[in-house]
Amino acid sequence: MSGDIILSVDRLTMRFGGVVAVNDLSFAAERRKITALIGPNGAGKTTVFNCITGFYKPTSGAIRLTHDDGRGIQLDRLNDFRISKQARVARTFQNVRLFPGMTALENLMVAQHNALMLASGFTFLGLIGAPSFRKAEKHAIERATHWLDRIGLLGRADEAAGNLAYGDQRRLEIARAMCTEPALLCLDEPAAGLNARESSGLSELLLSIRDQGTSILLIEHDMSVVMEISDHIAVMDYGVKISEGAPREIRDDPKVIAAYLGVQDDEVAAVEQELGR
Amino acid sequence: MTASTPELTQESRSAAFIFIFKKALISAFVAFVLFSLMIGIRTEAGPTGQLVYWTRFEDLATIVAIVFGGSIVIELLRRWWGPAPTARTLPPFVQRAASVARRTLPPLLLIFALLVPVVFYDQRYVIDTGIQVLTYVMLGWGLNVVVGLAGLLDLGYVAFYAVGAYSYALLATNFGLSFWVCLPLAGMLAACWGVMLGFPVLRLRGDYLAIVTLAFGEIIRLVIINWQSLTGGPNGVSGIPRPTFFGIPLTPGDEGLAARLGIEFSPTQRVVFLFYIILALALLTNWVAIRLRRLPIGRAWEALREDEVACRALGINTTTTKLTAFATGATFGGFAGAFFATRQGFISPESFTFQESALVLAIVVLGGLGSQFGVALAALTLIGGFELFRGFDQYRMIVFGMAMVLLMIWRPRGLVGHRAPTVFLKHSQAISSELTSEGRG
């Protein structure tokens, strides 16, 4: 794969005691493209995500992020909140992690914490109500309003996030991640639990985010979403990469089919015949 | 268990009767086991040190009978009322009345507080009680930042109160610094201790955090007791100077404020002065807390309470966020401590026991985590109630225990159990406390 690489994962290995969750995995994500990471349950996809977003420290290997201006950052050397703050990598979670007791608007305001914190002069300017802070806050509210409008939740801005419907919560979590102005957006199964209409809405949202210039890395089970929007797909099974390529190539790869159906490679033809393909 | 309906059949009626009877029997049996040794047999040391005991079976029988009868009455009442109503099922007019009360009550309470020394000028006891209540209101508001907003359960809050009190007492008695110079110093020192406590406990959550903060509170108290050369140990520090009015003392002499104003001196003037100082300090605490809540840092505190992992994913430095919460809470604790020292004129480690921490925490929980008005109301009820029930003497703790249990049954999230958003687009909607989390560390 050629082109402008934003994220390159190089020989990533993650061990938990004796269990090797990710073994010598290498793949890359292109700038302004949607890259999907797929694989059966327990393949190690979320572990890879947690390594990229700093929740785990990889046992070995390198994860490198290259910004628009050519500035490179080793993500495996940053930890915790710095990944989002300095490297501008945002993520969502497999099980939605909003702030349920805060309103939708507040959720999006918290996401702009670092910018607002700076504007409030680390609270001191904000405490005396400095005009520069008021301006920054107004700007933050405008940005939040813009995203609420885009995900169709403008009318429910003042409702508690925990009261929103599940599909709305999923979209709000993506909007919250986007409010941190990320260079790379990592989505952990964004379509899980959505109905067909909601998933197609999600596909549209993700495509519009991509076209706006944010690169997306995506873990997903819903093949219709993955095949529809991905520019590039990497397939994992048992912690290793078994295939990589454009959606069309992946769909016909016998190794991928074998991994999803849970059979050996040489039995694929027989199984396919049985399933009537 | 089902609520009774008018068309009860004979069968379900007898089933309900058997259930109530069974429950009453079990309650009576439990009471019998519990009280048989506590009340049934009385032991005492005789004149020569031998064991003397006698039985009180009549009393035991009375207690068991009361429990049996009481259990039936409670069960019947419960059937009559139906299931306990929740906030959602309150009729609309009650909700409207509550929202009107929420808007009008705080200003009314403030006006009342301002007028207390005027109205009760010749009743020093009332003003003293007012000072006591306001001190706890302030402590409650301070702890509310840590527990209510940031969701960090702090059982050692009294440590900061003690640091503030001793800072002022020692600075004033050793270096002759005035109250107004020491007040910010006491706050800063307490904040330093807040950060010092914060660092080691950053990784802890929930119950573990609570235990460490509890230990921290005890450590401070034990250090004060044992560091005789500095703190005077159990003897405490006495002769702590009183606050002055812009350098003018409130004393009977020619230099005093009364003489300068040309009015007759009365000791009540000093109490009134103290009342307004603590009122101002409490209002400052309230103002800062409300203000901070609407700033990015306050929102980050609340987000931390809701979900720490999500905070980290959004690039929020959870370490500094937690430390600032501890430091802010501690600062107000320190202010309150300095005020306590100057009001009493004498402090000793006995004033800073775990019971104080528990009381302040009870005020915050009772008031509703994160609610400023609720905390003020809870402090008024608890501390004011203590004074009100002084006549009941030994029964006052029982009354309080009962009152708190009942309150927690009816309003498990505190008196004011909802959260107001910090920012809104069209209109602010109160968020039910069922949605907000209590914080897990």
Mean pLDDT of chain B: 83
Q: Which of B145, B292, B312, B424 to mutate to test the interface with A (most CBs of A within 10 A)?
A: B312
Nearest to B297 among A100, A109, A123 (CB): A123
- What is residue B404's three-state secondary structure? helix
CB contact under 8 A, A82 and B299: no
Q: Which residues of chain A neighbour B438 with C-beta distances below 8 Å?
A: none
The tens-digit pLDDT sequence of chain A (277 residues) is: 456 888 888 888 888 888 888 888 888 888 888 999 888 888 888 888 888 888 888 888 888 888 888 788 888 777 778 777 778 888 899 888 999 888 999 999 999 988 888 777 777 777 777 788 888 888 999 999 999 998 888 888 888 888 888 889 999 999 999 998 888 999 998 888 888 888 888 888 999 999 988 899 999 877 778 888 888 988 888 888 888 888 888 888 888 888 777 766 666 666 666 665 5
Residues B225 and B166: beta-carbon distance below 8 Å: no
Quickly state the pLDDT bin for B82 (edges 50, 70, 90): low
Quickly state the pLDDT bin for B168 (edges 50, 70, 90): very high
What is the distance between the terminal CA atoms of chain A, rounded to a whole angstrom? 30
Residue B99 confidence (pLDDT)? 74
Q: Which residues of chain A neighbour B284 with C-beta distances below 8 Å?
A: none
pLDDT digits (tens, 9 = 90+) for B31-77: 999 888 888 888 888 888 888 888 888 888 999 999 999 988 888 88
**Which chain A residue has its CA at the smallest distance from B309's CA?**
A97
- What is residue B248's three-state secondary structure? strand
Q: Which residues of chain B neighbour A157 with C-beta distances below 8 Å?
A: 424-426
pLDDT digits (tens, 9 = 90+) for B337-369: 999 999 988 999 988 988 889 889 888 888 887
DSSP 8-state class, residue B41: E
> Which residues 35-54 on chain A approach chain B with CB closer than 8 angstroms?
53-54
**What counts of helices (H) and strands (E) characterise chain B?**
16, 6
Residue B2 confidence (pLDDT)? 46
CB pairs under 8 A between A and B: 139
Q: Touching check for A111 and chain B: CB below 8 Å? A: yes
CA B276-B281-B282 angle, to 5 degrees, is 95
pLDDT digits (tens, 9 = 90+) for B89-133: 556 777 777 778 777 888 888 888 888 878 887 888 888 889 999
Q: Which of B287, B288, B312, B314 to mutate to test the interface with A (most CBs of A within 10 A)?
A: B314
Q: Which residues of chain A neighbour B300 with C-beta distances below 8 Å?
A: 110, 113, 117
Q: Which of B302, B308, B316, B440 to mutate to test the interface with A (most CBs of A within 10 A)?
A: B316
Hey, which residues does A218 pair with through a beta bridge? A36, A187
State in words which class domain A99-181 has: alpha beta
CB contact under 8 A, A90 and B314: yes
- Strand bridging mode B51-55 / A72-74: unpaired
Which has the higher per-residue pLDDT, B4 or B250?
A: B250
Residue B89 confidence (pLDDT)? 52
Q: Is B232 left (phi over 0), alpha (psi -120 to 50) or beta?
A: left
CB contact under 8 A, B314 and A101: no
Question: In chain B, which residues touch A (CB < 8 A)?
Answer: 288, 291-292, 295-297, 299-300, 302-303, 306-307, 309-318, 324, 419, 421-429, 431-433, 435-437
Cβ–Cβ contacts within 10 Å for residue B124, how many?
Answer: 14
* Cα Rg of chain A (Å, integer): 20
Q: Touching check for A101 and chain B: CB below 8 Å? A: yes
Residue B287 confidence (pLDDT)? 92
Residue A1 confidence (pLDDT)? 47
Q: What's at B185, amino acid-wise?
A: L
Q: Is the pLDDT of residue B432 over 80?
A: no
Nearest to A113 among B296, B435, B436 (CB): B296
CA distances (Å), origin B358, targets B143, B153, B156, B210, B361: 11, 11, 8, 12, 5
**CA–CA gap between residue A193 and residue A214 (Å, rounded):** 25
Q: Is the pLDDT of residue B234 over 90?
A: no
Q: Is the pLDDT of residue B141 over 90?
A: yes
Q: What is the 3-state secondary structure (H, E, C) of B87-124?
A: HHHCCHHHHHHHHHHHHHHHHHHHHHHHHHHHHCCCCH
Q: Touching check for A82 and chain B: CB below 8 Å? A: yes
Residue B35 confidence (pLDDT)? 86
Give the lowest-confidence range in A42-51, B165-174, B196-205. Answer: B196-205
pLDDT digits (tens, 9 = 90+) for B282-293: 999 999 998 898
- Specify the DSSP element, H or E, that contains B275: helix B267-294
Q: Which of A51, A52, A106 to mutate to test the interface with B (most CBs of B within 10 A)?
A: A106
Mean of the pLDDT values across residues B20-37?
89
Q: How would CATH label the architecture of A1-88+182-250?
A: 3-Layer(aba) Sandwich (3.40)
Residue B3 confidence (pLDDT)? 46
One fold for both A1-88+182-250 and A99-181?
yes
**CA–CA gap between residue B356 and residue B217 (Å, rounded):** 10
